[in-house]
Each structure stands twice: as C-alpha cells, then as structure tokens.
Structure 1
Amino acid sequence: MSLQPHRLSVAPMMDWTDRHCRSLHRALSRRALLYTEMVTTGAVLHGDRERLLGYDPGEHPVALQLGGSEPVELAAAARIGEDLGYDEINLNVGCPSDRVQSGRFGACLMREPELVAECMAAISAAVRVPATVKCRIGVDDQDPEESLFRLVDLCAQAGVETFIVHARKAWLKGLSPKENRDVPPLDYPLVWRLKRERPRLSISINGGIGSLDEALEHLQHVDGVMLGRAAYHTPAILGEADRRIFGAAGPDVGPFEAVERYRPYMADQLGRGVHLAAMTRHMLGLFHGRPGARAWRRILTVEGVKPGAGLEVLDRALEAVRPVAAPELEQMADAGA
C-alpha cells in the first residue's frame, strides 16, 4: 500500500461510488485512495450497515465519508467505520444539495467553522485512523480567502492534518447541485496558496481536473489530487495512475485486463443475488474513445438490465470492442477491405 494514498484519490460521489464502482476502480489502480458515497450519521447508527457500509476487502485503501454535524453522533459513526476496517474517516463539508442543507451538514457547514472543528475533534478522539475534511473554498457571499483559511486553521487546531479542497464556492441558493459542480469559477491558485502557507498540512485539490496530465501539474503545488467525474466517466485513466502518479514499476492496466480482474468480483456478486446492471453501469465508459465503445455501452445497457443477465452479456460486449486479430486484418487486406 502506498504511503501517500492521497496523492491520487477518487471523489465520493452520490449514487456513483458504491462498492461495485470502487471494486472496478481498484481493478485499475492498486494505490489510489477510494471513498464511499457520503453516508449520514443517522444512516450509520440506525440503518442497514451491510447495505450502506459493506465493502470488499480488496478495496483497501478505502475511506468512509460521513455527513453530519452532531459531534457525539459523528464520533459514534466514526467508531463504527473504524471497527469495520475503513482506513480513514472523512467529514463532508462540501455537498450543496437541498437535502444536505436541511440536515445541517455538507457545504452549509462552511458557515460554521467552529462547529466543524468541534466535530473533527470528536471524530479524532474516537478513532485511531486519520480523520480528514473535504470542503469547498466558501459558500455564497463568503470571502474564500477568509472562509477557507479559517476553517482549515480551526480544524488543524483540533488535530486534523489532511484536507481535500474542492476549489469552487458552493452557491446554496440559486444553483442546483449539478450547476454547483460547473458554474462557480475554479480558484486553483487559492488552494495552492493554502499549501504554500500551511506547509505542514496535507492538502489535496479537487474540482474540474480531467486527466492525469492535469493531476501531475497540480502535484507541483499540492500533496494530492482528487478526481471525480473524469475517473467515473473515463475510468481507464486510472489504469495509468500507479505508474504515472505513484511511480510504481510494471505495465499499466488496460481496459481488458481491468475487466478480467473485475470478473471474479462480478461472479461472486451475481452469486449473491446482485443484478448484473448494478455492476456494469459503472463500466460504460471503460472503452471510451476506442472502436466499438458505442456497441459496448449498448449491449451492457440493453442486455444487462434483463432478468437473469449474467457474465455472458459481458462476454458479448467484450467481443464488440476486442481488437481484430492480425490474421483477420491480413484477410481483410487480401480482400481489399
């Protein structure tokens, strides 16, 4: 396991980064840090823990992201997460959805940095694994230079050493959660400055980063990069991450190898009654930009949702993108194809 898991991580994304998605991403990169979807403290304490918090041991390193604002409840939820084996407990101070605001957690906590610090002190006291914060640079009419630094400084005083910063404000009124991922302007230099002026802290940057080339540029300024939609929609980029980001020896993991690595997990889950589409929906972008990618998506989307669909659907989809063998190319050339 890398000693610098935050050097590259995949963002917690609601309805996306479930256990099936994380197992696919782990098939591509052995070193990137993976995150759960955000789970509220109420769900952790009172819900179906296997459904909400269950994960495959092969996912490590994997972090649990919590949503909440009650220190006692967060501490209890964090202890449960640690007992289940999660490698990190992260507090969401960045999600802008209406549901999150009504529950007094997520991005609206940027307005209550003292409360966030109190929550982090409670989590840190409850667990031995790292307790981290994922935040925005500010919300609404806040001055990001004041809001971001104040939140970080107060949490650092509470013992937090690692921060993941989405380099956009969140507008809690007037923009949808989707718009909040694109409309507010990015301010990467502010996050770089945070690292420069708080050198003892581990600072990771998030927001709008679309490639490993961009990630490497950011790593000239900060300790880590968190990829979101780029890792989800074009997961094959993670196959280059261990070499390019972590300096690991060995070849990259291509899409075909990733499918073969993921296949035993899929077979196991099918045997447990999981529907094929619950897993293949995360694979649709795996062959993005390659010949046959559209047919790959179509077969998985249309055939994968049918009752009883199994790995034979995956095999049919693979045939649509499998490279043409050299003898076939020669035959095509002889035929004037």
Structure 2
Amino acid sequence: MLDMTNKRLSVAPMIDWTTTDYRYFARLFNPHVYLYTEMISTGALLHGNRARHLRFDTSEHPIVLQLGGADIHEMTQCAEFAQQHGYDEVNINVGCPSDRVQHNKIGACLMAEPETVANVVKHMQAAVDIPVTVKHRIGIDNFDSYEFMTDFVQTVAAAGCTRFIVHARTAWLQGLSPKQNREIPPLRYDDVYRLKQDFPELTIEINGGIESIADIEAHLQHIDGVMIGRAFYHNPYLLAEANTLWNQPIPKRSEILAQLYPHLRQQVAQGESLSTMTRHYLGLFQGLTGARKWRQALSGKPHLTLEDFEQAAFEVLQLNPDA
C-alpha cells in the first residue's frame, strides 16, 4: 500500500475550467486532492472584480491560487490578496505557452529568466506566510536540456521556493498552439525523476499525460506528487477512484449528486446561472450507459432548470442502478 502521508495529488489549473463551480463539484469526489484556480493574471486582480475572481467555497480547501505575472510589486500584492482571502498556497505560472501571455511576461517564457522568477518568489515569500510554489516546464524551444531546467530550479530554489510542479514536456513558444503544446512535445518523465534525485531536499511534483490510478501510483514511486488536468476534468469519477490511494471508499455518483443538489438550489437562488455551473458536469457519467444522453441534456441549454437537471440524472441512474 502506497503511503500518502507526504505525497500529494492535485487538480491542475486550467483556464475557464477550474472555476469555483468546477472545484466545488470536484471536491465532492475526493476530500484529499489539492484544487487549483485557473491561472489569474495580476492585472485581473488589481483592476478587475477581485472578489469575483478570488471567491471559493470553504469546502474547496486545500486550495491554491495560481498567479500569472512577473512584476515583483504586483505579484507580491496579489500574494497578499491570496492570503487575505484564505488560500492555502499561491503558485506562480511558469508553464503556459500561450502567445497572449508571453507578451505580458507570463508563463513558460519566464523559464529563460530564472533570476526574475527568483526575485518574485523572494518578495512574495517575505510578504506572506502561505507557501509560494512554482509550476514550470522541462524547457522552452531549443533550451530543452536537463541542465537548462536544473539551472532554473536551482536559481529559484535558492530564493526560497521548495515545491516545484513540473509539466514533463518542453514548451514551444513559436509554432505550436497551447493545445499542441500539451500533445506534440514528447513527455520526458525521467527528467522529472532525475530532478528529484538531484534535489532530494525539494518537493517535486509531476504533470502531463497522466490518466489512471495505475499511472499515479507508478509516478509516486519516484516523486512527491502528481498533478492531473484534463483526465480529471473529462472523467471526474477518476477523482472518486483516487480515494483508494488513501485507503478510503469510493463514493457513488448517486451520493455525489445528492450532495450537489442543495448547493445548486442555493446558487440558483443567489442568481448564479445553472447552465454555467453544469457545463463542468458533462463527464459525470463517462463510460456508463446513457452518458451521451446526459451530455445532450446539459449542453447548450441556457435556460436549463433544476428540474431538467435532476430528471436527466434520474434517467441515467435508472440505467445504471449501481452508480
């Protein structure tokens, strides 16, 4: 049996996906996983609707705010916002390959500026008591050697960062879309394992291409944590199955829905859009009879009602009595 005492399983930050609506839903499947916000830029927090961006339900703990930015003062101020709002950690995005964020010195392009990231970490840590962590790639463009990554990690670690989440692919900043950057550059898990061996004092987590409980268990033999994005989002029941890592029972989908209904009623009563919330639930019955009908019942229905939602769920559960 795997000892999870000093191990971590996380749901990756995903823009437009890991909103508070999704995170509340994800928490119902598993009480142990760490939940990340979508990447939020410092500009959005400093000049936008900060309360809206930072809102979360208390059930979402442990929860991590992921920030996009490189300006020391802005990042420090936003770290303070994170602590004030009750976040458990704050994470710096050094992995996003999008053209849009490169222009604002956000994301993977910062791997070429380890001293910048180190200075940001140093100032953020001086301002808050919660941990400051970094999520990065194994390299960028032609700077994809193991030595390039270790130089980055060593520099940032010297500034006080002790937890690194490594997406085990190089980011191509020119020529590939963000989607292609998640699929085309080859996965190099061994580089992440080697990083842990060379820096045993650091906490190293791995991300990229991980899709099953068996995958999680295999990686945790080598490193300190596993982060999964799309596999958890498209098949949220994988989160439920992951309870076995802690030797805990797997909840049924019917039990999860029973907990979800009061929350949905409360949110709708407060003026939240039901269709906005339920867009995150399409994968609930992934692999079961009626899963397609479930997705059709929820998709593209701006005037979806609670009665429609409960009836669609009832019909699928009738087809799958043990779910």
Bin for the TM-score computed over the shorter chain:
over 0.9
Contact kept, 8 Å, 1:299 with 1:316, in 2: the verdict is no
Matched with 1:86 is: 87
TM-score by length of 1: 0.91
Q: CA deviation at 1:6?
A: 5.9
Contact kept, 8 Å, 2:38 with 2:66, in 1: the verdict is yes
Is 1:305 the counterpart of 2:302 in the alignment? yes
User: Residues 318 and 119 (structure 1 numbering): CA distance in 2 closer, same or farther, change over 3 Å?
Assistant: same
Matched with 1:317 is: 312
Kindly report structure 1 stretches of 4+ aligned residues shifted beyond 6 Å.
none
Q: CA deviation at 1:242?
A: 2.4
SS at match of 2:91: strand
Matched with 1:261 is: 259
Unaligned runs of 5+ in 1: 327-337
TM-score by length of 2: 0.95
Q: CA deviation at 1:321?
A: 1.0
Matched with 1:252 is: 250
Task: Give the one of 241, 261, 283 matched to 1:285.
Answer: 283
Is 1:228 the counterpart of 2:225 in the alignment? no
Q: CA deviation at 1:263?
A: 1.9
After superposition, residues 130-149 of structure 1 pair within 5 angstroms as 130-149=131-150
After superposition, residues 1-337 of structure 1 pair within 5 angstroms as 7-244=8-245, 247-249=246-248, 251-302=249-300, 304-306=301-303, 309-324=304-319
User: Residues 6 and 37 (structure 1 numbering): CA distance in 2 closer, same or farther, change over 3 Å?
Assistant: farther
Query: Can you list the C-alpha shifts for 1:11-36, whole angstroms capped at 9, x where unaligned?
Result: 00001000000000001011100000
Q: Using the alignment, how far apart are the partners of 1:225 and 1:218 within structure 2?
A: 7
Q: CA deviation at 1:217?
A: 0.5
Q: CA deviation at 1:257?
A: 1.6
SS at match of 2:289: coil
Query: Can you list the C-alpha shifts for 1:189-236, whole angstroms capped at 9, x where unaligned?
Result: 000000111111110000011111101100000000000100000011
User: Which of 210-219 and 85-94 deviates more?
Assistant: 210-219
Contact kept, 8 Å, 2:7 with 2:220, in 1: the verdict is no
Contact kept, 8 Å, 1:9 with 1:33, in 2: the verdict is yes
Q: Using the alignment, how far apart are the partners of 2:262 and 2:146 within structure 1?
A: 48
Q: CA deviation at 1:144?
A: 2.9
Query: Can you list the C-alpha shifts for 1:22-63, whole angstroms capped at 9, x where unaligned?
Result: 000001011100000111111112210122111111100000
Q: Using the alignment, how far apart are the partners of 1:296 and 1:95 within structure 2?
A: 32
Q: Which amino acid aligns with 2:130?
A: V
Q: Which amino acid aligns with 1:276?
A: L
User: Which of 215-224 and 251-260 deviates more?
Assistant: 251-260
Q: Using the alignment, how far apart are the partners of 1:5 and 1:271 within structure 2?
A: 41
> RMSD over aligned Cα, in angstroms?
1.6
Q: Once the two structures are aligned, what percentage of the paired residues are identical? A: 48
Contact kept, 8 Å, 1:124 with 1:130, in 2: the verdict is yes
Q: Using the alignment, how far apart are the partners of 2:206 and 2:172 within structure 1?
A: 19
User: Which of 282-291 and 49-58 deviates more?
Assistant: 49-58
Q: CA deviation at 1:325?
A: 8.6
SS at match of 1:9: strand
SS at match of 2:97: coil
Contact kept, 8 Å, 1:15 with 1:37, in 2: the verdict is yes
User: Residues 325 and 147 (structure 1 numbering): CA distance in 2 closer, same or farther, change over 3 Å?
Assistant: closer
Q: Which amino acid aligns with 1:216?
A: E
SS at match of 1:189: helix
SS at match of 2:166: strand
SS at match of 1:172: coil
Q: Using the alignment, how far apart are the partners of 2:223 and 2:320 within structure 1?
A: 44
Q: CA deviation at 1:264?
A: 2.0
Q: CA deviation at 1:267?
A: 1.4
